[in-house]
Amino acid sequence: MNIEILVITIIASLIFGFAALALSFNLQRKYELNYVKSYFYHQILIFLFGFYGLLGTISTHYFLTDIDFKGEVIGLLFSFLPFIGVPFMIAAWYMFIRISFEIIERKIALKFTLWFFVIVIIVFLMFGFLVPYIDYFIVDKIEINTHVFLFFIFIEILTLTIVFSNYFIFSNYLKDKYKVRFIKFFALVNLSLYILSVVFLMLGENNLTFIAGYTMVYFFKDIIPLLILGSYLSKNYVHPINVVAENTKESFIERYGVSKRETEIIDEIIQGRTNKEISERLFISLQTVKDHIHNIFLKTEVKNRVQLTNLIRQFDHK
């Protein structure tokens, strides 16, 4: 890899990485949702692994080969470099799985979490002890630990299988079909970017330029999904209103002819509760909740919860 490609890889990767971090940070500050917070933690871990495990390894190997400095101890040291960065990636994989559970409103079991980390850490440590004795393949004079590479691929495939099963299969159990459509589109974009990164990784087996391409795609691949998520939440997320003055509520009811039951539904909506949560709290069927919300939207001439909440906020400031 020549110095120009190295510099472009580092600069572009850092720009993409910081952009993804900034987007996820802004989302988790703006929206009080568990999966948005998990996405932010995921991005931190992704950035740490990328900065250390990818950029660090490429850079150090470049300078190592550039000065033609050889030696068994130094060679062994650099064979461990990508391996030591793997714990960041393990934690990032777990957060990626957690996001997929939280976005489809499923609780991730403690037993699953424990087994995930136990199995991955055991396999990780086994490979760690074997690093000095296992084979390497050469890419433009850089030795890459084959078994660590295969371990990385295996765990990522396992993670993606769990995540996209949640997105494409288990999301169908959600009652909000608009959210289901969003989740599948969001998943499809994610999957396409992951496939792109895999293509670069496979081509990189014989060409370090493609490894540089993989590195840049690695840092870039969360930017588009984060923009899509931000657009969806801006249109559909209801910021809870903690207190609505009694005279505001009375004025709103009088203006739009809202019934007592519909008022109770509105109280729940402005607290940010889902249809299912409203159904359970008010002891009515889910279909009844939907019917009431439909009637509320017709009376107030709004199209969604966000518009309804904003309308109430306007009354509160009159």
Number of domains in the chain: 2
CATH for 58? 1.20.1070
Do the Cβ atoms of 43 and 20 come closer than 8 Å? yes
Residue-level pLDDT at 139? 45
Do the Cβ atoms of 100 and 163 come closer than 8 Å? yes
Tens digit of pLDDT for each residue in 119-161? 888 877 776 665 555 554 444 444 555 555 666 677 778 888 9
Residue labelled with tokens 């590195």:
215
Report the distance separating Cα 70 and Cα 141, nearest Å: 12
For range 184-188, the mean pLDDT: 96
Residues 232 and 250 in one domain: no
Report the distance separating Cα 288 and Cα 267, nearest Å: 16
Instruction: Using alpha carbons only, give the angle 81, 24, 241 rounded to the nearest 5 degrees.
Output: 150
Q: Domain for residue 149, yes or no?
A: yes
Report the distance separating Cα 142 and Cα 42, nearest Å: 29
129 conformational bin, left if phi > 0, alpha if psi -120 to 50, beta if neither: alpha
CB neighbours of residue 242 within 10 Å: 6
- Which tokens is 269 given? 């909506």
Report the distance separating Cα 235 and Cα 233, nearest Å: 5
Q: With pLDDT > 70 as the criterion, what percentage of the chain qualifies?
A: 75
Residues 193 and 308 in one domain: no
SS3 label, residue 181: helix
- Residue, of 114 and 197, whose pLDDT is higher: 114
- Lowest pLDDT segment from 5-9, 73-77, 99-103, 147-151: 73-77
Residue-level pLDDT at 137? 46
For range 187-216, the mean pLDDT: 81
Residues 176 and 305 in one domain: no
Residue-level pLDDT at 119? 82
SS3 label, residue 145: strand
- Lowest pLDDT segment from 87-101, 131-145, 158-172: 131-145
Q: Domain for residue 44, yes or no?
A: yes
For range 272-284, the mean pLDDT: 87
Structural domain ending residue among the three candidates 218, 236, 254: 236
Report the distance separating Cα 202 and Cα 150, nearest Å: 12
Structural domain ending residue among the three candidates 201, 236, 271: 236
Q: Considering the entire predicted model, what is its pTM?
A: 0.72
Q: Domain for residue 241, yes or no?
A: no
Tens digit of pLDDT for each residue in 46-74? 998 888 766 666 665 555 555 454 455 55
For range 278-305, the mean pLDDT: 90
- Which tokens is 128 given? 């760690």
Q: How far is CA 183 from CA 16, 110, 231, in A?
A: 24, 24, 13
Residue-level pLDDT at 167? 95
Residues 277 and 209 in one domain: no
Residues 269 and 145 in one domain: no
Instruction: Write down the mean pLDDT value for the chain.
Output: 80
Which of 96, 207, 98, 93 minimizes the C-alpha distance to 154?
93
Do the Cβ atoms of 126 and 134 come closer than 8 Å? no
CATH for 256? 1.10.10.10
Q: Is the pLDDT of residue 188 over 80?
A: yes
Residues 128 and 84 in one domain: yes
Q: What are the backbone dihedrals phi and psi of residue 111, each rounded to the nearest 5 degrees, phi first?
A: -60, -40
Residues 175 and 257 in one domain: no
Tens digit of pLDDT for each residue in 213-272? 888 898 999 999 999 999 999 887 876 665 556 667 777 888 888 888 998 998 888 887
DSSP label of 19: H
Residues 148 and 99 in one domain: yes
Do the Cβ atoms of 139 and 57 come closer than 8 Å? no
Within 131-239, residue ranges assigned H as helices are 146-168, 177-203, 208-220, 223-236
The alpha carbon of 250 is separated from its chain's Cα centroid by a whole number of angstroms, namely: 42
- Which tokens is 277 given? 């949560």
Label residue 166 by pLDDT band (50, 70, 90).
very high
Residue-level pLDDT at 147? 55
Residue-level pLDDT at 132? 56
Report the distance separating Cα 218 and Cα 194, nearest Å: 8
Domain of residue 190: give its range: 3-236
> 145 - beta bridge partners?
136
Report the distance separating Cα 113 and Cα 94, nearest Å: 8
